[in-house]
Each structure stands twice: as C-alpha cells, then as structure tokens.
Amino acid sequence: MNRLLRRAARPGFPWTAPQWPPSLPRPLPPSSLGAEYDTGWARREPVRVARAVLLDSVARGAVKVLASPRVSGLDRIAGLEAPAIFAANHASHLDTPLVLSILPPRFRHRTLVGAGADYFFDTRPCS
C-alpha cells in the first residue's frame, strides 16, 4: 500500500517526459561545428559592411606595414569574369588578409574565404 501511495504522489508519463530505456544507446545530438557551422550571420549587411571597413582600413594597412608585398600580374585578372578561385599556398594564417588586401576592389569585397573546419570551427562560439 505504501508503494502505491508513493507512485500516486509522483506523476509519470504522460504528465512528465518519458524515460529513455537504459538498454538503448542514445543518438548523438546534431552537430553545429565543422561543415554544419552556422555562417548565415556572415552574409548579413551589417557584417558585410564591417568586413569591408576592416579589410580596407585595418588589414590593408597592416599588410603594407608588415609585409610590403610586391604585386605583379594584376593585368592577368583585369578581364577575368566571376566566378574565380584565388588560392594561397597557406604558408601562414596571414595568407587570407594578404590575398584579400591585394585583390582589386571588384574581387576583394565579393570573395568568400574557405577555412579549415578542423582548425577554425572546432568549438562553439561564446554566447
């Protein structure tokens, strides 16, 4: 009788969530990292404007001061129509700002950067 009273005092299913059977493995939660990393925020207009300002002011200035690159062959891409792929040799993490800072403006602000998901997107952003 005591057991029945205890059971009646704590309501179970359908008033509470059902219990997972211990004999069944739980499915993994969906990942939001790697290839599934959410990048929709990067295509919003305020973010694009901020990127353009940082790229044209900070990154280009820093690249000129730190690396003073000599650029040649821009005439080869003068008549280039999009889409195109610009690939760096990945000698350092500065390849991206270097390449983006020397591209002509018509490519600079419409270039998407591919990054290694295993290096850059292996943790969730702080919220």
pLDDT tens digits, 47-84: 989 989 998 889 888 888 888 888 888 899 888 988 88
* Contact predicate 67/94, CB 8 Å: yes
Whether 93 shows a pLDDT value over 70: the answer reads yes
- pTM, two decimal places: 0.58
Instruction: Indicate whether 111 belongs to any domain.
Output: yes
Whether 96 shows a pLDDT value over 60: the answer reads yes
- The pLDDT value recorded for residue 25 is 92
Instruction: Indicate whether 3 belongs to any domain.
Output: no
Mean pLDDT of the chain: 80
Q: How many domains does the chain have?
A: 1
Task: Find the angle CA(72)-CA(74)-CA(77) to the nearest 5 degrees.
Answer: 145
d(CA 3, CA 102): 77
- What is the per-residue pLDDT across 25-40, written as a single tens digit (0 to 9) for each? 999 888 777 677 777 8
Tokens of 119: 């290096």
d(CA 109, CA 59): 13
- Cβ contacts of residue 65 below 8 Å, gap of 6+? none
Domain of 101 in residue numbering reads as 84-115
